[in-house]
């Protein structure tokens, strides 16, 4: 390496999660970097430090519920028991149910008959369960609901969001526009055209289009879409308005983003996308959590360790230990090198790099609340494996979710 090792203790996460002005923390990152574990551990840590916290996972994996000691998470926040919370802290947890969230919005903002007409419509069933972008929009809707509930009921003062893996984690930033193109686009306007006075002049030309669509889609499908469009039209404005309000909240001073990664090239490539996107959108980025870092207890380079091992009987305990150390040291040197390149490529105009917090690699996975609390303390202290983590402890930074 050409420069000093990257500072992996610069991000003060305790300060982030205990700041009374921070109301929403959003964790994003690619799959397999331990993002769900980090989100849950941050939420547990926040509760221990006195915040009334709710953690929302958009990732459908069940690992979070198991770690929190809950049989199954659903769309309603559930209290997590067994946390050593201080100063009035608490923790609730929930998992986004896309269909139920959509249903709740329809029921809350449409009259009884109109709401039931929408819920029973086959096109709505498809839209609310499988259309691209619906999950991201509903994530934004649910986040907005939680924040409004937190303010109205004084129930929580911190919301931690665990986003889906891969780049779709930030697609909810585009959700209002995506839904707008679907529900307010030319397609649905054409479907409604025959029922609107001035547009009946287009009926001859539209009849040809309608005939073609009937042959392609089938008359019943087209009827379902037309019926849905007519019933849903009055609700769309409210959908977009709430999404825009939530997006404004995300860019405000009460929200912060954390990017979770490992010190691997592919993970850092994805992390680079998240950092660049957040910067372009001028969204508040607190820093990065770098998970599964390797460290050594002896300041001996991989090259020197191998050289020393070659001078010994290769089957001797000393040679075996030196060879194992060389592998670990080589891994650490590689991690430090790729992190240094990442930091250098994302320096601000004043030369500052991204603030980071390192979490040690462990061979075991998170499986209970005690392990999550331990990860939370690691996030707080920024310890590496050789600095106070007893060998074999189930710290669980190796979670694949």
pLDDT at 112: 77
pLDDT of 276 above 70: yes
pLDDT of 226 above 50: yes
pLDDT at 311: 80
pLDDT at 51: 96
C-beta atoms surrounding 188 within 10 Å: 19
| DSSP-assigned letter for residue 80 | P
Mean pLDDT of 328-347: 90
pLDDT of 52 above 80: yes
Return the top range by mean pLDDT from 67-76, 173-182, 262-271, 381-390. 262-271
**Residue 204 binned pLDDT confidence (cut-offs 50, 70, 90):** very low
**Residue 19 binned pLDDT confidence (cut-offs 50, 70, 90):** very high
Q: Which two tokens stand for residue 43?
A: 């939420």
Using alpha carbons, list the distances in angstroms from residue 171 to 20, 45, 249, 338.
28, 28, 16, 27
pLDDT at 350: 65
**Residue 383 binned pLDDT confidence (cut-offs 50, 70, 90):** very low
Residue for token pair 């009374």: 20
Is residue 293 left, alpha or beta, with left meaning phi > 0 and alpha meaning psi from -120 to 50?
Answer: beta
pTM above 0.75, yes or no: yes
The answer to whether 271 touches 261, Cβ cutoff 8 Å, is yes
Tell me which CATH code domain 13-381 carries: 3.40.50.300
Degrees (nearest 5) of the Cα angle 14, 41, 355? Answer: 45
Please report, for the chain, the start and end positions of each structural domain, with discontinuous segments joined by +: 13-381
The answer to whether 13 touches 63, Cβ cutoff 8 Å, is no
Return the top range by mean pLDDT from 95-99, 335-339, 380-384. 335-339
Residues with Cβ within 8 Å of 67's Cβ and at least 6 positions away in sequence, in order, are: 37, 40, 366, 367, 368, 369, 371, 372, 396
Mean pLDDT rounded to a whole number for the chain: 78
Q: Which two tokens stand for residue 342?
A: 């990442």
């Amino acid at each position: 390496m050409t420069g000093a090792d990257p500072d992996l203790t610069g991000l003060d996460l305790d300060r982030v999660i205990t700041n009374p002005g921070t109301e929403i923390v959003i964790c994003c990152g690619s799959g397999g970097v331990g993002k769900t574990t980090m989100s849950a551990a941050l939420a547990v840590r926040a509760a221990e430090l006195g915040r009334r916290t709710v953690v929302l996972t958009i990732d459908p994996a069940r690992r979070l519920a198991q770690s929190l000691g809950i049989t199954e998470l659903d769309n309603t926040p559930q209290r997590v028991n067994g946390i050593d919370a201080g100063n009035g802290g608490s923790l609730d947890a929930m998992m986004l149910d896309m269909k139920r969230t959509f249903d709740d919005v329809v029921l809350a903002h449409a009259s009884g008959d109109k709401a039931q007409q929408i819920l029973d419509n086959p096109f709505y069933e498809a839209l609310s369960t499988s259309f691209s972008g619906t999950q991201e929009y509903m994530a934004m809707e649910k986040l907005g609901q939680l924040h409004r509930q937190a303010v109205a009921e004084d129930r929580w003062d911190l919301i931690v969001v665990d986003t889906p893996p891969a780049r779709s984690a930030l697609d909810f930033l585009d959700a209002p526009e995506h839904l707008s193109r679907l529900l307010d686009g030319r397609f649905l306007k054409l479907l409604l055209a025959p029922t609107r006075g001035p547009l009946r002049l287009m009926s001859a030309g539209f009849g040809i289009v309608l005939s073609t669509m009937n042959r392609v889609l089938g008359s019943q499908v087209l009827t379902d879409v037309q019926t849905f469009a007519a019933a849903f039209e009055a609700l769309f404005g409210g959908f977009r308005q709430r999404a825009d309000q939530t997006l404004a909240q995300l860019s405000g001073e009460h929200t912060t983003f954390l990017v979770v990664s490992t010190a691997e090239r592919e993970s850092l490539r994805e992390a680079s996308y998240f950092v660049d996107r957040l910067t372009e959108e001028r969204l508040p980025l607190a820093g990065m959590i770098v998970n599964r870092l390797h460290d050594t207890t002896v300041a001996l380079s991989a090259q020197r360790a191998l050289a020393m091992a070659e001078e010994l009987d290769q089957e001797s305990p000393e040679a075996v230990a030196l060879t194992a150390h060389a592998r670990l040291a080589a891994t650490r040197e590689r991690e430090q090198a790729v992190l240094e390149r990442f930091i250098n490529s994302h320096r601000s105009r004043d030369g500052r790099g991204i603030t980071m917090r390192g979490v040690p690699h462990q061979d075991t996975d998170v499986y209970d609340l005690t392990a999550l609390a331990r990860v939370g303390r690691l996030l707080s202290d920024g310890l590496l494996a050789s600095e106070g983590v007893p060998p074999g402890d189930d710290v669980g930074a190796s979670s694949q979710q």
